[in-house]
Amino acid sequence: MTSSRKSLRVLIGGGSGFIGKELSSVLRNAGHEVTLISRTNRNGSLSWDQVSDPAFVIPETDAVVNLSGANIMGSLLWTSSFQQELISSRVNTTKSLASAIIGKRFKGGPPRVFVAGSAIGAYPSGVPGPTVDEDFSDYPQTFFGQLVKKWEEAATLPQDAETRLVRVRTGVVFGKEGALKSMTPSFKLGVATVAGTGTQYFPWIHLHDIVGIFNHAIQNDNVTGVLNGVAPEASTALDVTHAISRAMGGSFVTVHTPAPALKLMLGPERAAMLLEGHKVVPKRTLESGYKFKYTSLDAAIRDALS
């Protein structure tokens, strides 16, 4: 059943990020009221300190979304302090919002839905990797696998909560910013690079569709549980490299970055994220009624690079 409220009040953590900015724009253009959570409460936003304060009453809200999280590739060195930032920026922010919902700190009653960001790191990887959908529930014993576990557990609400809970496990997002921005510079030099053999699966999604899935979760009362934020088309890393080559035109020399070199540069854990893959299927996303705009890898990359 679709939400009957025409104009929604949506509170977004991480609203100034790559996905958050686009989601905020889409919601505002549709006539919804969007409030962001930032480090300081300026320009009409709330601060994380306010959201975390047990005495603070949050303004009336219909939907809460959390997209906060430091970029996992944001530091060349994966130090213990950077790892802690990756955890706290996801787990602590999610926990603050869940606590506010559980503690009934929203004026006018609890929000109707809490859409919590997550990632496909919840699934095991390999080469080419297993086929997994939303029903798979055994987190990998890796740093990122356990990070996702803590991240998702932080969003847990009581079974009798009045707030609907949706977790969106996002893949690699194609848009003008994000992954493609870091992947394309070598192509301008005539070199198409691919990590390792390129046979590993590469779960991707267009920015339009990941924003569409979050909006779908906000708007539709029948949507609950885990949704995979990946396109239905299964692609390998080499497929993605070839699609970028076709979209950019010209002639390219394909260069495979050896696994040992990536492990030396990034460390074994992060290198594995590029060298190993999993065929992630958006089974429950499709069953919930979401209709993808970009189901073709070529179309998605052409649009993102246009």
Q: Are the C-beta atoms of residues 284 and 225 closer than 8 Å to each other?
A: yes
In which element (H, E) is residue 139 found? none
Domain ranges of the chain: 9-305
Q: What is the pLDDT of residues 159-216, one digit of tens each?
A: 999 999 999 999 999 998 888 988 999 998 999 999 999 999 999 999 999 999 999 9
Residue 282, preceding peptide bond in cis (omega within 30° of 0):
no
Distance CA 204, CA 290 (A): 16
124, amino acid identity: P
Q: Are the C-beta atoms of residues 139 and 93 closer than 8 Å to each other?
A: no
Distance CA 285, CA 165 (A): 14
Q: What is the pLDDT of residues 59-71, one digit of tens each?
A: 999 999 999 999 8
Q: 248: buried, middle or exposed (CB in 10 Å: 19+, 13-18, 0-12)?
A: middle
Q: What is the pLDDT of residues 91-140, one digit of tens each?
A: 999 999 999 999 999 999 999 999 999 999 999 999 988 999 999 989 99
Phi, psi of 223 (to 5 degrees): -90, 120
CATH 3.40.50.150 fits domain 9-305: no
Distance CA 166, CA 13 (A): 15
Residue 77 has pLDDT above 80, yes or no: no
Q: Are the C-beta atoms of residues 173 and 18 closer than 8 Å to each other?
A: yes
Q: Return the SS3 of 68.
A: coil
pLDDT value of position 1: 41
Say which residues have a Cβ less than 8 Å from residue 287's Cβ, sequence separation at least 6. none
* Pairing between β-strand 33-38 and β-strand 191-195 as defined by DSSP bridges: unpaired
| CA distances in angstroms from 218 to 66, 108, 135, 200, listed in the order given | 12, 18, 21, 33
- Compute the average pLDDT of residues 45-49: 95
- Long-range (24+ apart) CB contacts under 8 A made by 259-266 are 259/195, 259/196, 262/195, 262/196, 265/76, 266/76, 266/78
76, amino acid identity: L
Q: What is the DSSP letter of 180?
A: H
Q: What is the model's pTM?
A: 0.95
Report the first-to-last Cα separation within the chain, whole angstroms: 36
- CA 169 to mean position of chain CA atoms: 6
CB atoms within 10 A of CB 200: 23
